[in-house]
Chain A
Amino acid sequence: GESVGLHLPTLSVQEGDNSIINCAYSNSASDYFIWYKQESGKGPQFIIDIRSNMDKRQGQRVTVLLNKTVKHLSLQIAATQPGDSAVYFCAETYTGNQFYFGTGTSLTVIP
């Protein structure tokens, strides 16, 4: 099966600091990656995506970096806010239909 994992299951940061959430993937054929945020009692919410022909993509306060050489994905959140507290998942696909999700990293923002 696929292996999409995260390096750290939990992460605590001070409000205003930057957060970095990491993800390793195992399938070199994966060509599309998405980061999702899941708050308690809700479904995953799209944050940002990146295709394999890119190394970096920026959104509002978020940046995703893709290193295909080592099959590593990271999500950077600038000026982390209490509302960013949630579980973050990376997801990969090579079929475009089936996404493989990691276990998730729980981010806690300390006010």
Chain B
Amino acid sequence: DAGVTQSPTHLIKTRGQQVTLRCSPKSGHDTVSWYQQALGQGPQFIFQYYEEEERQRGNFPDRFSGHQFPNYSSELNVNALLLGDSALYLCASSLTARGPGANVLTFGAGSRLTVL
């Protein structure tokens, strides 16, 4: 059973460019969340997608946008890249349902973005 898969694993961009990161959730999961993890810090919530809509958003500018597809996979787009956007971007999937453990996030290995 494949877990959460993310691509690409590493990428380098220059300031002002745009980037798209991709995520396939764990089998059986219907909800995808994106987190940004700066070096030495804990993950910071960007947004969550469910039923192809953004359900909740963290404190990130509109340069960060996303999408969820009918097969539950998701993309994270970042426009007008800044040096401070350099980080590990983590995708996490979960199941929106009642019951214990429903909210548990299963994380992918992340996409390491470096902005020069």
Task: Give the contact stretch, choosing among B68-76, B78-86, B100-108.
Answer: B100-108
> Is the Cβ of A43 less than 8 Å from the Cβ of B103?
no
**Known contacts A46-B106, A95-B56, A98-B58: does B101 contact A103 (CB below 8 Å)?**
no
Interface residues on B, range: 20 to 34
Main secondary structure of the interface of B (DSSP, over half): loop
> Is the Cβ of B42 less than 8 Å from the Cβ of A46?
no
When distances are taken between beta carbons in the complex, the residues of chain B under 8 Å from A89 are 42-43
> Is the Cβ of B107 less than 8 Å from the Cβ of A45?
yes
Within B86-116, the residues touching A (CB, 8 Å) are 90, 92, 100-101, 103-110
Within B21-79, the residues touching A (CB, 8 Å) are 33, 35, 40-45, 48, 55-56, 58-59
Q: Which residues of A contact B (CB under 8 A)?
A: 1, 4, 32, 34, 36, 41-46, 49, 51, 89, 91, 93, 95-104
Q: Which residues of B contact A (CB under 8 A)?
A: 4, 33, 35, 40-45, 48, 55-56, 58-59, 90, 92, 100-101, 103-110
Shortest Cβ-Cβ A-B pairs, 4 listed: A101-B42, A43-B107, A97-B56, A98-B45
